[in-house]
């Protein structure tokens, strides 16, 4: 330090950004926790807009949230008949039963329903999860979908070129035929609405017999067997 210079102060970050990264939630959810009085900074109730540095002790529900943390990213090949929630739904097991205890605190990046299979990402990096799932980033997802009957060319055009009106908005998907039966398709979407693919086909009279995700953004299954997982690098 040069004579007369003030010692450099630690740079402060916004509390909601810090909580989102550490807890694997969105910044809006972090703001809700702060507004509800569930977060303290050095034993004082936090307020919206607060900023912190490594010298502050941040607690959520009276548990310390560490300032330094290492991030983990997993790619899992989810089998069918597993749910992505932390608790079993009746007798249906959860994907967390496929993971060792030290990885069970990770959160899923989006979801697949019980009857669907394929690529699921898990992480403790809230910013990463947000960048992969928020519609403004338009991360492409690829699926192999099998239908109960042959998809008529008119319905193919309706889905791919014009979109199908659903209660939560229009659904438009890319379609690539995979065999001559017209039952098996590669489907591409950049949204992530609940059961969007199944609801889109159902709206024009088709049942999805199987749905298997093979790619999410830059991530692919890369030969993982059902139930297997691998640590991956962050790639956005």
The residues assigned a catalytic role are: 113
Tokens linked to 204: 């024009």
The number of beta carbons lying within 10 Å of the beta carbon of residue 147 is 18
Residues 6+ apart with CB under 8 A from 11: 53
Q: Would you give the distance in Å from CA 87 to the centre of its chain?
A: 17
Tokens of 65: 């949230």
Contact 150, 182 (CB under 8 A): yes
Closest CA to 57 of 40, 45, 70: 40
Taking Cα atoms as reference points, which of 90, 89, 94 lies closest to residue 76? 94
Buried b (16+ CB within 10 A) or exposed e, 35-51: eeeebbbeeeebeeebe
* 93 CB burial (10 A radius; 0-12, 13-18, 19+): middle
């Amino acid at each position: 330090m040069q004579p007369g210079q003030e010692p450099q102060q630690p740079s402060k970050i916004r509390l909601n950004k810090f909580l989102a990264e550490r807890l694997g939630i969105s910044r809006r959810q972090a703001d809700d926790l702060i507004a509800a009085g569930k977060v303290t900074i050095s034993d004082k109730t936090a307020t919206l807009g607060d900023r912190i540095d490594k010298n502050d002790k941040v607690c959520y529900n009276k548990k310390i949230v560490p300032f330094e943390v290492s991030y983990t990213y997993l790619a899992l090949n989810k089998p069918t008949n597993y749910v992505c929630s932390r608790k079993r739904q009746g007798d249906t097991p959860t994907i967390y039963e496929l993971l060792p205890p030290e990885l069970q605190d990770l959160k899923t990046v989006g979801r697949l329903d019980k009857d669907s299979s394929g690529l699921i990402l898990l992480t403790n990096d809230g910013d990463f999860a947000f960048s992969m799932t928020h519609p403004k980033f338009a991360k492409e997802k690829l699926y192999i979908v099998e239908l109960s009957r042959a998809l008529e060319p008119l319905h193919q055009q309706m889905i791919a070129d014009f979109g199908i009106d659903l209660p939560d908005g229009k659904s438009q998907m890319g379609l690539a035929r995979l065999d001559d039966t017209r039952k098996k398709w590669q489907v591409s979407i950049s949204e992530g609405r609940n059961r969007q693919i199944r609801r889109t086909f159902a709206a024009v009279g088709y049942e999805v017999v199987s749905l298997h995700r093979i790619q999410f953004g830059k991530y692919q299954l890369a030969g993982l067997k059902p139930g297997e997982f691998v640590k991956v690098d962050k790639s956005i």
